[in-house]
Structure 1
Amino acid sequence: MGADVHGPDQEFLALERELAVFLRRARASSGEMARAVHPELEAAAYGLFVRLEEGGPQRATELAAYFGVGKATMSRQLRALEDLGLVAREPDPADGRASLVRLTEEGLARFRRVRDARRAQYVTKLADWDRKEIAELARLLHQLNERADMQEPGAQLRP
């Protein structure tokens, strides 16, 4: 039997529905943007570009923890980017045994072209929105993301 869409939780049901649609579109968009950076990239690569551009050089272990993936998965993704000349490793000045991953000039230039084109799409799609509405949406999404980051590990859905 379906949930009562007119009951006390109707706002949360509407939120769940809209987030599901948004996430589906975001996943598809990440794949398109990654392939626009380089045709051989998988969707997950775009998030790596965003993180490295915003946070600068980072250890592979930090990236794996941030994205919630294993070290082997992150190593494979970084190796693919390295083979394409989009990221490079450099010695970590804080620990000579470790290395930092950074975007190459080519990787940064390709990422910024795609990001700027994406931003232009947002401007076009939201042209009839008031700038205050856009700022409010960004604020609310940031707040939602912060709450998600505060969620305790293992506090996932349980039947």
Structure 2
Amino acid sequence: MHNTRPDGMAGTDEPSGVDQVFLSLERELAVFLRRARATSGELARAVHPELESAAYGLLVRLADAGQQRATDLAGYFGVGKATMSRQLRALEDLGLIAREPDPADGRAVLVRLTDEGHDRFSCVRNSRRAQYARQLASWDRREVAELARLLHRLNGEQDAEEGCGAAPAAGKSDRAGRGDRGGDGGSAGNG
């Protein structure tokens, strides 16, 4: 369990000389990310019982950005072509994605959600958003918007620092950093 006071500041049992604000931030992010990783598996299984948690983020990306090349997906998630190919093959075997020739380049292939993949993913995503609404019901909508804005800013700054240049459009920041791209706790590189 994390040890923060109600005002968000770390308790007094910390070593002196430590920046308490950043120590508190580190603790809260660690709790958030631990929960996000655990939730990722639950979300993946809700989409399909055989879906790996790491592949959930691919569904998020395809739902948000539309069809893409596998190489673009690999670059977005910061994984190798072999890892991306394995994850896409698993999603295809489950009937959640399909591959089609790229009309702009006959040598390339585009990956898209199938109707079944879209329906299953949308159902889980809508359920997750309803859960967020229940959990944050006591928050003012401006506070929720501010949290989303700050997370978007943090993700954008991490993207810029890492040089990946894959910052999402405003309102589409469903991720918690490079290890958790894809929102709702899942990613091609994580889960």
**What TM-score do the two structures reach when normalised by structure 1?**
0.91
Higher relative contact order (CA 8 A, sep 6+): 2
State whether structure 2 residue 122 is matched by structure 1 residue 141. Answer: no
Residue number in structure 2 paired with 1:11: 21
- Of 80, 89, 94, the match for 1:84: 94
Residue number in structure 2 paired with 1:157: none
Residue number in structure 1 paired with 2:34: 24
Identity score, percent: 74
- In structure 1, how many angstroms separate the alpha carbons of the residues matched to 2:123 and 2:162? 37
Which residue identity lines up with residue 94 of structure 1 in the other structure? A
Residue number in structure 2 paired with 1:42: 52
- Which runs of 5 or more residues in structure 2 are unaligned? 1-12, 164-191
Residue number in structure 1 paired with 2:82: 72
> Aligned pairs, how many?
151
Which residue identity lines up with residue 151 of structure 2 in the other structure? L
Residue number in structure 2 paired with 1:102: 112
- Of 58, 62, 73, the match for 2:72: 62
Structure 1 residues 65 and 3, CA, compared in 2 at 3 Å: closer, same or farther?
Answer: farther
> Which has a greater percent of helix?
1
- Which runs of 5 or more residues in structure 1 are unaligned? 154-159
Which residue identity lines up with residue 139 of structure 1 in the other structure? R
CA RMSD of aligned residues (A): 1.4
Q: Please state whether the residue corresponding to 2:101 is helix, strand or coil.
A: strand
Report the more deviating stretch, 94-103 or 7-16. 7-16
**What TM-score do the two structures reach when normalised by structure 2?**
0.76
**1:152 Cα deviation (Å)?**
3.6
Q: Please state whether the residue corresponding to 1:151 is helix, strand or coil.
A: helix
Q: Please state whether the residue corresponding to 2:110 is helix, strand or coil.
A: strand
